[in-house]
Structure 1
Amino acid sequence: DEKAYGPDHPNVARDVNNIGMVLQAQGDLQEARKCYERALKIDEKAYGPDHPNVAIDVNNIGSVLKAQGDLQEARKCYERALKIDENAYGPDHPDVARDVNNLGSVLQAQGDLQEARECFERALKICRDKFGPDHPNTRTVADNLSSLGQGQK
């Protein structure tokens, strides 16, 4: 794609984002973050700062930051992704559920259990409404809520 389209094409952003996911799965958080940041730079230039592709990139950066223990910056990323997706899709879209769930996970890690619960409950409602009670996304969010104690499945 770089050869065909140049280094700043959205297809390249998709490719380096995918490479970042593999690197993250392999535990190479530093290189994964570099890939996600490159994808973000390309997508922001191509689409502007408020496009859903940017939300994906920011969300992925947030996941690396959370894994690295930088919870405050991870939270900022998840909040930005959520704002973008809410504006793009409305409050009840599956991508919003993903963002709210991720925000809940970082809030939980920061010890803000009430806000985490609110996020997980919101994400669970969206997932149940969109996917049903037995979908893997619904079950993941339900498990996250249960991890807070007194949760529901």
Structure 2
Amino acid sequence: MDQKADNALHAVRRHAAEGDYASAVSTAAAAIEALDAGPGDRDLLVVMLNELGMLFKYLGRLDEAEHLYERSLSLLSTPPTRAGDLAAVLHNQAGLAHVKRDLGRAERLARLGIAVRTAQPRFDRRALVADEAALAAILIDRGSWDEAERLLESCLDHQRREYGPVHHEVAVTLHNLGSLLFRQGDAAAASIALQESLSIKVTCLGEDHLDLTPTLYNLASCCEAVGDLASVRHLLTWAVSILRPQVQSSQATYAACLRKLAQLPAEIPAGRNGVERVGHDRTGVTNASHPA
């Protein structure tokens, strides 16, 4: 194993977990360049390409992410291929297609990734649960709500038993469940799931992490549905303050936040319950998805 590249991979993941996407991108790019320059470790190169692709997706650099995933797949086309790596790339390609709103392709890739993973006699159950949660998010936008709900409830049960109640994977699944409930017209239940998701994300990631922003947006949509415009403005402004320094203007959540902010009236009276209604704590004491 290339120890320098392995150390770089750990650094990339640490930077991303801390919300320092600029450092994560530069570290990953340098590691890929070094692996390309020598014989390197093909499996590690595949993983690093996948990591950088994920970072580019979060930042709205979608064409660059697609190129990296395609390069990963080309490397994996040469035996021996690790099924887990192939499933991970398919999972991430599905997420990218979801962001691009190519929902049919997203669903096909997500199901193919699950099939590749489960075809092995032994596979990572935690990774499969993440695959199924991602498929559920796609199915929400496809209108397949019954299957999405079954998957999310199963994933949430497994994740809480596996990780405990306060874990990022739990937060991501709660976010998707909240999105589903909102689509189904239950803004009150959606708000409860999204508030719990946001609280866990703040606890796990801090107040300024990019991953908070889809949940902030969706929670703002719930507040808008009940007429709490003061909380809508607060949540969207919080999201924009996180997104503006890091993402391209075309990034989906950033663009959606700006549109919704622009539609709010200039003067908003304090709501009946004010910002407290949303149930988050900016002191931090207490998850691929799209704006609802």
User: Scaled by the length of structure 1, what TM-score is found?
Assistant: 0.87
**Structure 1, residues 39-79: CA drift from partner, whole Å, max 9, x if none?**
11111111111100100000000000000011111001110
Give the deviation of 1:123 after TM superposition.
0.7
Read off the aligned partner of 2:240 and give its amino acid letter.
L
Matched, 1:4 2:122: yes
Give the deviation of 1:92 after TM superposition.
0.6
Matched, 1:111 2:227: yes
Matched, 1:45 2:161: yes
Gaps of 5+ in 2: 1-116, 268-292
Read off the aligned partner of 2:171 and give its amino acid letter.
A
Matches within 5 A, 1:3-152: 4-5=122-123, 9-131=125-247, 134-136=249-251, 137-150=253-266
Q: Secondary structure at the match of 1:4?
A: coil
More helix by share: 1
Gaps of 5+ in 1: none
Report the structure number with the largest CA radius of gyration: 2
- Which structure has more relative contact order (CA 8 Å, sep 6+)? It is 2
Q: Distance in 1 between matches of 2:166 and 2:254?
A: 27
Give the deviation of 1:85 after TM superposition.
0.6
Instruction: Indicate the RMSD between aligned Cα atoms, in angstroms.
Output: 1.9
TM superposition outliers: structure 1 runs of 4+ over 3 Å: none
